[in-house]
Amino acid sequence: MRLFDRASLLDYPIYKLQGKRVFVRADLNDPADSEGNLTGDMRLRAVAPTLAYLCAARAKVILASHFGRPKNKEANFSLKGVRKRLSEMLRFDINFIPECNGKELEEFVLNELKDGEILLIENLRFCPGETKNDMQYARFLASLGDVFVQEAFGACHREHASIASLPKLLPSFAGFLLEKEVVALSKILKSPERPFLLILGGKKVSDKIKLINNMIEKVDSICIGGGMAFAFLRANGYDVGKSFVEESIDDIARQILYKAGEMGKKIILPVDVLVAKDIISGSECKLVDAHRIPADWYGVDIGPKTLELFKEEILKAKTILWNGPMGVFEIPEFSWGSRALALAVALSDAVSVCGGGDTSDVLRLTNMVNYFSHVSTGGGAALKFLEGENLPGIDALPKVM
């Protein structure tokens, strides 16, 4: 069964790349400090093999990305910090133009960019036409290249000019990262080895309803932690204190529990939780049974008994998909459950896939990225893909038989 039906960079003869202007749309949106200096480089490392391949083939690479959500070209959203880290990673200097439109950029690409070099252009979201999916802006970007390579899996769910329109204006191909993402996620959707365990966390049930509905028939069991667990605990009649629960979510939680029961799917909920007086570092904390959360306390993490229940499922599983942290992991005192779960999954024999977003941040903080079978670079895009939705950035690429 073919899991990737789009034109791939490997379909383009390597000997034809020399001298070609290859426009690479990447997702270089790694975490950064308030001045724009990167504090992580997972996405840069993920796209590096494609860039190295193109440079070795002596292509002229025009590299483009978004970075954060700027409102007015704020300096901390510039790609200057990305350029510095990427140059260090690839061990050669990368050209940079502080523009994402205009004559200066066009003239550099056409007259100064040499074979085997990379030009990084400024944050695409500094140009309003990008997020508006403006066809005129897409045509300008297309004028810079001979070939387009899509590597921005993390933005492929966006209807933006460089994602949804640009690929239709040039001979277009998926890069190595995009193909890897689609194949890895397609495998667990279409042909997972069983037992198949889904681990869900994060704050809101509403963010995961489509994912649960699409996956519940495919998985054998579901472990639920994080803030969303309290909605299911409350649906079971437990008092959850001040723990976050969305308004009007009780009926949806009950429907999911009922549907799982009807289908013979096992849902494992927390049996103990860490609670805190306030959701701040240094707050008073204690472990309590899940059905005994004090009225004026907040649930902030799973407890050790819950972890043991989750580990029982992890040890049985042959395939594991994890999406969402187990608690308020940004606060060190509330991150134990997420960190311990990451270690348990990493040490298992299962094919382990992380759905990106906050979950990948947990793995990065615990140095567990390399111990998972696949860690997606796209949070929202991975979620949409696993929900069964089509992604505009992939749909825009030509199909192959």
Fold of 184-386: Rossmann fold (3.40.50)
Angle 123-160-76 from CA coordinates, rounded to 5°: 20
Catalytic residue, chosen from 357, 378, 379, 393, is 357
- Is position 357 annotated as part of the catalytic site? yes
Global confidence as pTM: 0.94
For residue 155, what is the DSSP state? Answer: G
The rounded distance, in Å, linking the Cα atoms of 216 and 198 is 9
Q: Extract the annotated binding site.
A: 27-29, 43, 66-69, 125, 158, 208, 299, 330, 356-359
Q: Write the Ramachandran bin of 264: left for phi over 0, alpha for psi from -120 to 50, otherwise beta.
A: left
Angle 83-22-37 from CA coordinates, rounded to 5°: 10
Q: Extract the annotated binding site for substrate.
A: 27-29, 43, 66-69, 125, 158
- pLDDT at residue 1 above 60? no
Catalytic residue, chosen from 6, 20, 25, 43, is 43
- pLDDT at residue 384 above 90? yes
Angle 155-61-54 from CA coordinates, rounded to 5°: 95
Domains 9-177 and 184-386 agree in fold:
yes
The rounded distance, in Å, linking the Cα atoms of 287 and 302 is 9
The rounded distance, in Å, linking the Cα atoms of 243 and 295 is 9
- pLDDT at residue 346 above 70? yes
State pLDDT tens for residues 61-107: 999 999 999 999 999 999 999 999 999 999 999 999 999 999 999 99
pLDDT of residue 2: 65
- Is position 225 annotated as part of the catalytic site? no
Q: Tell me the two tokens of residue 336.
A: 């134990």
Query: Residue 371's Cα: distance from chain center in Å?
Result: 17
In this prediction, what percent of the chain has a pLDDT beyond 70? 99
> Where does the pLDDT of residue 37 fall: very low under 50, low under 70, confident under 90, or very high at 90 and above?
confident
pLDDT of residue 86: 96
Give CATH for domain 9-177.
3.40.50.1260
The pairing of strands 221-224 and 351-354 is unpaired
User: Residue 281's CB: how many other CB atoms inside 10 A?
Assistant: 12
State pLDDT tens for residues 288-324: 999 999 999 999 999 999 999 999 999 999 999 999 9
The rounded distance, in Å, linking the Cα atoms of 258 and 330 is 33
State pLDDT tens for residues 192-247: 999 999 999 999 999 999 999 999 999 999 999 999 999 999 999 999 999 999 98
Query: Domain map of the chain by residue range?
Result: 9-177, 184-386
- Is position 204 annotated as part of the catalytic site? yes
pLDDT of residue 36: 84
In this prediction, what percent of the chain has a pLDDT beyond 90? 93
DSSP 315-342: HH-SEEEEES-SS-TTSGGG-HHHHHHH
Q: Extract the annotated binding site for ATP.
A: 208, 299, 330, 356-359
State pLDDT tens for residues 103-129: 999 999 999 999 999 999 999 999 999
The rounded mean pLDDT for the chain is: 95
Q: Extract the annotated binding site for (2R)-3-phosphoglycerate.
A: 43, 125, 158
Catalytic residue, chosen from 45, 139, 204, 277, is 204
- Is position 168 annotated as part of the catalytic site? no
For residue 185, what is the DSSP state? Answer: H
